[in-house]
Amino acid sequence: MKYSLSVDSPIGKITLTADDHAVTGVTLPGEGPEEPFAEKRTSLLVKAAGQLLEYFRGERKKFDLPLNPAGTAFQRKVWRELERIPFGTVATYGEIASRTGRPKGARAVGQANHRNPIPILIPCHRVVAAGGMLGGYGGGTALKIRLLELEGVRTLRTEKAKTRKK
């Protein structure tokens, strides 16, 4: 059985989902869960909500929760690599592709990021395009910037450099 718990956070309402053993989803503000789950304050969901709020207060840099994201073998491999990106740093899609054994698979990494069912806890917001460009984010670019700034990352570019006319 799966359960959910909604949390009011500084970025809006976040819904956490879990089964009896692990967190299975995080739904960001403005998104709806793919399927309805019974709202229940399980000990795991309460712990996950607490850690998430600690993160937003700047008190937590690493999550200590059992996670079980549903996905393909490749997606799960990418998501494990994302969990290795330290708080306050970023990696490129190409770097993650190389780490997963697919050095030319940056686009595949981007697709895996897009399908990450547990954003923030699996920090897909820490992945940027080559040259420091932000790339996309399920919760929107503004939320990605906010999460990265919360972690102290400030040297990001949101658009390609424009050519100066002489």
| Residues annotated as part of the active site | 124
Provide the token pair at 33.
């869960």
Q: Give the chain as a DSSP string.
A: --EEEEEEETTEEEEEEE-SSSEEEEE-TT---SS--EE---HHHHHHHHHHHHHHTT--SS----B-----HHHHHHHHHHHTSPTT--EEHHHHHHHTT-TT-HHHHHHHHHT-SSBTTB-GGGEE-GGGB----TT-HHHHHHHHHHTT----BSSPPPPPP-
Do 23 and 2 touch, CB atoms closer than 8 A?
no
